[in-house]
Structure 1
Amino acid sequence: MVDAAVIGLGYVGMPLAQAASRAGLSVVGFDIDTSVVADLNAGISHVDDLQDRDVAEMLALGFSATSDPGRLSEADAIVICVPTPLADDGGPDLRHVEAAVATIAAQLRPGMVVILESTTYPGTTDEVVRPVLEADGLIAGRDFHLAFSPERIDPGNREYGAKNTPKVVGGHTQACTDAAAAFYGRFVDTVVPTRGTREAETAKLLENTYRHINIALVNEMARFCHDLGIDLWDVIAAARTKPFGFQAFYPGPGVGGHCIPIDPNYLSHSVRARLGYPFRFVELAQEINSTMPGYVVRRAQDALNDDAKALKGSTVLLLGVTYKPDIADERESPAVPLARQLVAHGATVLYHDPYVEDWRALGGEIKRVDDPLAAAEDADLTILVQNHSGYDVAALADAARRLLDTRGVVPVNERVQRL
């Protein structure tokens, strides 16, 4: 028998498995991707937050990866950490969750704890997961425990990880909440129980909707502050000195990652589908944030106009194409629609990113440069899209013919503009 089985060995599942293994739990990881399983069992990591040495440590502690669903029957607790991408209708695509639940149902036994961590709309645990698990006669809350606990992994965050980030837990019954909380309590510092699964599901959506809306606020302010000749970055620096009632958010070329561009849509879709009216804040925020790459293109045109150049025929260098600094994760990166629109306007686009050797945006037609300083000297316009810590932004600003800084880290001068 093992203490825990983790289904889905990606950005969420692997840090969870690592924290549990380090706390002394016996853990098996399940994934349908046999190449991922083989790499992990060979001590090779495929996610940013874990190095090969971390996987080797997990293996030494007894962790193993498998594609054999029969191994799930050995687990006292099973945690579902599979992707929930956005479906065509704006809601979550639950195919991975449904497949995982069907796999668990075939191995379910009395006394098990089953926990869904994949982000989704309120009601999924009770309406989608529970009926499948109960189909053969076992009842949630009586024969096995069922709960939802939203993942809160922040890739690249060196301060907060699976162990010291508080874990929200909501069960189908109070006994389910208690069982899931006891499981997480073995390797997570703080467990936060909620009234039920729907509250836990909605808590995750509120967290990311809050960020989505506030990012949209400063993105819209960036536009009119530029038109009014106001330095928004200086405004934010001044406002954040207030010790209460204000949290700083910053503008950028768009939002990216596996949460902010996706999760608020689950809540908006659920409200429309169930209640018949819009979640207006979310839909407006989505509209504003999704148009930021286009706004950056217009600013690029203006910057080139200052040199009496057109965007068409100009060479534009993009620095940093991942969705956040110092990781290789490209999911939903705003660099993709930015590059697409620049190419559509006739620009020749090049890129550099220390974490991305082969960028498949636009079918891989955008070429990588090896030396960003030399490329900035040659390009008609350089756009700092992502501020990786390895970039010497002062040197890049000196080298560039003209630079558009979307991250507010380069002092403005006659050749440097900030978003």
Structure 2
Amino acid sequence: MASEPAAVALGLDFGTTNTVVAQATGGGDARLIDFAGDDGGSPVFRSALCFYEDERGWNGIAHEAGPWAIAEYLQSPLDSRFVQSFKSVAASASFERALIFNRPFRFEDLGRLFLQKLVAHAGGALDRRPRRVIVGRPVEYAGARPDAALARQRYDAMLREFGAEVHYVYEPLGAAHSYAARLAEPATILVADFGGGTTDFSLVRVAAPGAARRCVPLASTGVGIAGDRFDQRIVTQLVLPLLGKGGQYRSFGKLLEIPGGYFADVADWSRLAMMRNRRTLDELRRLQRDAVDPAAIGRMIALIEHEQGFPLYDAVGRLKRALSTRGRADFAFSGGGVEIGAEVTREAFERWIADDLVRIEAALDAALARADVPADRVDRVFLTGGSSLIPAIRAIFDRRFGADRIATGGELTSIAHGLALIGEEEDVAAWEA
């Protein structure tokens, strides 16, 4: 039996929430890599890690990634450490390392361990190294004062084991290349990519099939607001008031507001997992003794001690998805002795994210202005990424471009598919960020 040809290029969409990989072998097409699991194969690999102590593991700690990380965590939540959305700190100079079982892990350590498991779960499809790896990157990284050069340095270290020529391409340009393969005539297209950490826009001019250069990028913009921010809005409105946000504590005969830093960490799932350490828990217990409402702080401690970050944000995600198809939905969370239930309307959710939508639309305006392409000259709009399914987001594009010009599909896979196709091109540098 003949072996499969080695990949000319690998498209790697390392996302905040999910990671997808595609291979191109030189035939002008790309195939998605499936990761086999109990429920069958899927090209979507959750961007998550679970660590547990094991002397056979790296530095005395073993780990799993993707859906296997979730399964490992759910089996022993109190004896493991679950980490997700770690891409969101790639460009943050304030993030130096995470302490997991009192051992330091840099971003590149987390990324390298994650990719090792991703390769291991690909059923041999990624064992042969490609000539090129085309890595998607956001136009603007998430976080306050993001440092793109630092993120590039960390990505380089994370990808070193691939031993291939590495190129970085804006994520929406990957999706644009994938979508262009559907078109049979020239067009100016706008791609809007709604990820977990960032929202990015790219305008691309697509030539007729058979042209020497099918796609020409015109402009790209982005903003560090996307699905994770919407989750944070839900947590802020429904969960944090029950954990003491807005409450007070007594100090030297005065009533002071409880510091907001704790609530900011709970509202950010990339930091919530790191709160289970002795110093933070001791601080919270001292605060609980002096709080006007000690039960609220007790609920926060319970969430942290019982490793309820994943179940909490899983419940938030279910609510968000339900509100994309229904006008109202129930939010229900129970874990670690904490129970939260509330009915939420789509109208309320849209109020919570209204300011975020304004900033997203401003980034869209900037992309059109930078490309010098007015909205009425855009022939097609391609929406990708999970948050593109939120009705309030879709409404922006219906209003600006008309529903007849909007296309969707492959919301979670189009970027990796297009990145692999870019890797087949002779002049990859023309697409590099």
Normalised by the length of structure 2, the TM-score is 0.28
Normalised by the length of structure 1, the TM-score is 0.29
Larger strand proportion, structure 1 or 2?
2
